[in-house]
Amino acid sequence: MTVVACPTCGKKVEWTPANKYRPFCSERCKQIDLGAWAEEKYTIPGAVQGDPEVDKPTDD
Ligand SMILES: [Zn+2]
């Protein structure tokens, strides 16, 4: 039997067709991982967006 470590908590997980959350140990750990991924995704546009200097009117 194959045993893997849960990516979220590191707990040993039996890799079986019956375990629909594999490689996670539980639905909770799967949701946590997906949540972290989504958060990262949402962070990127805010981080690259906007250089305040560009919007400054140049009063020459
Ligand atoms: Zn886990």
Residue 44 within any structural domain of the chain:
no
Range of the domain at 19: 3-38
Measured distance CA(52)–CA(7) in Å, rounded? 38
Distance between Cα 2 and ligand 1 center (Å): 16
Distance between Cα 5 and ligand 1 center (Å): 8
pLDDT at 53: 66
Distance between Cα 27 and ligand 1 center (Å): 8
Residue 46 within any structural domain of the chain:
no
Calculate mean pLDDT across residues 7-13: 95
| Residue from 38, 23, 55 nearest 8 by CA | 23
In this structure, what token pair is assigned to residue 4? 């893997």
Q: Which residue has the higher pLDDT, 46 or 59?
A: 59
Q: Report the percentage of the chain scoring pLDDT > 70.
A: 75
pLDDT of residue 17 exceeding 80 = yes
Calculate mean pLDDT across residues 26-34: 91
Q: What is the CATH number of the domain that holds 24?
A: 3.30.50.10
Distance between Cα 14 and ligand 1 center (Å): 12
Looking up tokens 């990127």 gives: 44
